[in-house]
Amino acid sequence: MTSSIAIVTGASSGIGAATARRLAAEGFHVVAAARRADRLDELVKEIAAAGGEATALTCDVTSDESVAALAEAVSKLGRPVTVLVNNAGGARGLDPVERGSISDWQWMFDVNVLGTVRVTQAFLPALDASGAGTVVVLSSTAGLIVYEGGGGYAAAKHAQTAVAETLRLELSGRPIRVIEIDPGMVRTDEFGLTRFGGDTQKADAVYAGVAEPLVADDIADCVAWTVTRPHYVNIDRLIVRPIAQAAQHKVHRVF
């Protein structure tokens, strides 16, 4: 039986790469999409070595042309598309609103929000045609509550959450479910470095004293669980935090 396709954006590192590995292990043919071809090639080789199936396709979710090319390439694989994981995203800066960089805000909105919209629009026809499609939106707890210094990121993630909620209403009656996953503190190799312009010290400080922050595999596990439920089961929203993070503003640290 031909396995169906699961597309994962932002698959070159972190949660995206972990999700690609996990969905391949669940039996999907994973399309790993991101900008860095070398990282994707390594990931696909790793998945193949573990007995899974994957295809690497470069894509920049901020480009209409790149997303259209991704959809065209996937259509040529000759398999039904049943899962789309909108994982590509990120944060830049931790400045207050009064000093925030407009270019950083624009980048966060384009990647997190418009990237999700672009890719989802491109694959809704295929998901619909499969008869059992699933759209996963990787948002954040920052999409549910704000915090000082996080205005740009929280605004983008709130918008991404609004897209997921609206899409679920608009697709009612069609064979596509919409799942939103909202992680709290997840320690990955690149998220903090991207946010702080490569400053390792600032990136590490976010997790200082937190004994066990979440890791990428924890979120990949959540994605896999939600998309492998019977198709009539829709996990509308899954909020996942480490036990040390009781709320966005309350984190237990041990020094």
Segment holding 108, helix H or strand E: helix 102-108
Pairing relationship of beta strands 53-58 and 81-86 according to DSSP bridges: unpaired
Max Cα distance, the chain (Å) = 56
Tokens of 184: 């709290």
The three-point CA angle 222-5-12 to 5° equals 65
153: annotated active-site residue: yes
Cα–Cα distance for residue pair 182/232, rounded to 1 Å: 21
Question: How deeply is 250 buried, as exposed, middle or buried, from its count of CB atoms within 10 A (0-12, 13-18, 19+)?
Answer: exposed
**Which residues carry out catalysis?**
153
